[in-house]
Amino acid sequence: MSRQKTLDFEMIFESTPVACLVLTPELTIVAASNRYLAVVMATHKDIVGRALFDVHLPNPADPQDDGMRALRVSLDRVLLHRVADTMAVQCREIPRPDGQGIEARYWRATNAPVLSPNGQVLYIVHHLDDVTEYVHLQQWAREHEERARQLGLQAESLKREMESCAQDVAARAAEMTRSNTELEQFAYAASHDLQEPLRMVSSYVQLLAHRYHGRLGQDADDFITYALDGAKRMQTLIADLLRFSRIGTQGKPFVPTSLDAVLDRALASLRHEIEETKASVTRDALPVVQADEIQMAQVFQNLIGNALKFHGEASPRIHIGYEHCEHEHLVSVQDNGIGIEPQYLERIFMIFQRLHTRAEYSGTGVGLALCKRVVERHHGRIWAESIPAQGSAFYFTIPDREGNPS
């Protein structure tokens, strides 16, 4: 072993933290790095100077010694082609750095020729790269690839389900629209066709009353009165039903509508009732919203009309309030009237539902159902809150965006 004056390459080579062997073209080991010795768990004496394939370096991870066969093939290739050859990754267990037993690590061996100036192979450098992290990463990637593929499939499946659900929803919405339209048409046709025979009943009972009042006896007069009363009520019911059924079919497209102006209109039409009950009406400033003006007027008229009608001993004090919530206009009509018991707060919005006898308060029970229909056509919500004997508040919302009427 000669030592150089300038650099002790031998020492450098042996200390280099790379697992390396230097072989002659005849495959004798002429040098080995310390790292290599540590990896194969051998000493310098065990292997240096000996023929490579005489040295048995057991590898429990490779019981068939496939590695040795592969090494031979690789070295032959290097000798033949005089270019470096990289082998397939092999597993080999080595002692753990902390001395606590052994661990499996993965190595990629490369055999690189050292050529003379005229291209002859002088040496072959066999070096091992610790590619354990790489292998682990590969394994991890494969596992995760598989997981990702599974997730992908699940996502696909969920997407299909969602699309199917969306289709269901769309179909049902379409069905409901169609059904609603049919119902409206039915209600319209029914009310329309009911008017004719009703007119006959009503007109001729009135004629009877007119022509024979007092001439057929008290019983007849009473009977005629009840019949007339019934006919009149039916007229009102049918008219209300007609109005109700036309909300969708006769609704106009939404345009920017000043709710202040609409409220003015409603209050003007209720002028008589306001004077009669000596009501006081206060109001917040109302915004301009996308709405059907006539239908909005109907809502205000019904809500304020109710507030005027269902008053207690005191004169009605009515306040129309406004609040802008996130993306919504919130309008309220509050009164100090007789109130509504909590168990009826939802029922009152159903058509023809009344909470009082006709002797107590007039009305067909369509007003609130109509309000609900109109508000819902405008994509809003309507509800009531109340404390019996203290008063009620009716709230409705209109979305604050460009809406399209249904």
Partner 1 sequence: MIRDNGKIIEILLIEDNPGDVRLTRECMLDNKVRNTLNVAVDGEDALCYLRKEGKYANAATPDLIMLDLNLPRKSGFEVLKEIKMDERLKVIPVVVLTSSQAEKDILASYSLNANAYVSKPVDLFEFTNAISQIREFWLEIVKLPTE
Binding stretches for partner 1 (CB under 8 A): 192, 195-196, 198-200, 202-204, 206-207, 210, 235
Nearer to partner 1, 292 or 335 (CB): 292
Nearer to partner 1, 192 or 356 (CB): 192
> What is the SS3 assignment for 338?
coil
Nearer to partner 1, 331 or 370 (CB): 370
Q: How far is it, in rounded angstroms, from Cα 293 to Cα 257?
A: 6
Q: How far is it, in rounded angstroms, from Cα 405 to Cα 286?
A: 21
Nearer to partner 1, 202 or 336 (CB): 202
Q: How far is it, in rounded angstroms, from Cα 261 to Cα 268?
A: 10
Sequence length of the chain is: 406
Minimal distance, residue 217 CB to partner 1, in Å: 22
Q: Is the distance from CB of 71 to CB of 85 less than 8 angstroms?
A: no
Relative orientation angle of helices 218-249 and 132-212, to the nearest 10 degrees:
150
Minimal distance, residue 200 CB to partner 1, in Å: 4
Q: How far is it, in rounded angstroms, from Cα 107 to Cα 125?
A: 15
Minimal distance, residue 402 CB to partner 1, in Å: 28
Q: Is the distance from CB of 128 to CB of 107 less than 8 angstroms?
A: yes
Minimal distance, residue 303 CB to partner 1, in Å: 26
Q: How far is it, in rounded angstroms, from Cα 240 to Cα 363?
A: 10
Minimal distance, residue 203 CB to partner 1, in Å: 4
Q: How many CB atoms lie within 10 A of CB 322?
A: 16
Minimal distance, residue 190 CB to partner 1, in Å: 14
Q: How far is it, in rounded angstroms, from Cα 63 to Cα 14?
A: 29
Q: Is the distance from CB of 278 to CB of 315 less than 8 angstroms?
A: yes
CA 406 centroid distance within chain: 23
Distances (CA, A) of 188 to 113, 250, 369: 98, 11, 16
Nearer to partner 1, 17 or 197 (CB): 197
Residue 336 gets which letter from DSSP? Answer: -
Nearer to partner 1, 48 or 194 (CB): 194
Minimal distance, residue 330 CB to partner 1, in Å: 34
Encoded tokens for 62: 């490779």
Minimal distance, residue 189 CB to partner 1, in Å: 11
Q: What share of the chain is helix, strand, coil (3-state, %, to 5)?
A: 50, 20, 30
Distances (CA, A) of 94 to 41, 56, 100, 102, 128: 7, 16, 11, 5, 13
Nearer to partner 1, 136 or 192 (CB): 192
Report the candidate in 316, 317, 307 with the shortest Cα–Cα distance to residue 367.
307
Nearer to partner 1, 191 or 392 (CB): 191
Minimal distance, residue 199 CB to partner 1, in Å: 5
Minimal distance, residue 364 CB to partner 1, in Å: 15
Q: Are strands 280-283 and 317-325 parallel, antiparallel or unpaired?
A: parallel
Nearer to partner 1, 188 or 394 (CB): 188
CA 233 centroid distance within chain: 49
Q: Kindly tell me the number of DSSP H helices and DSSP E strands found in the chain.
A: 10, 13
Nearer to partner 1, 244 or 300 (CB): 244
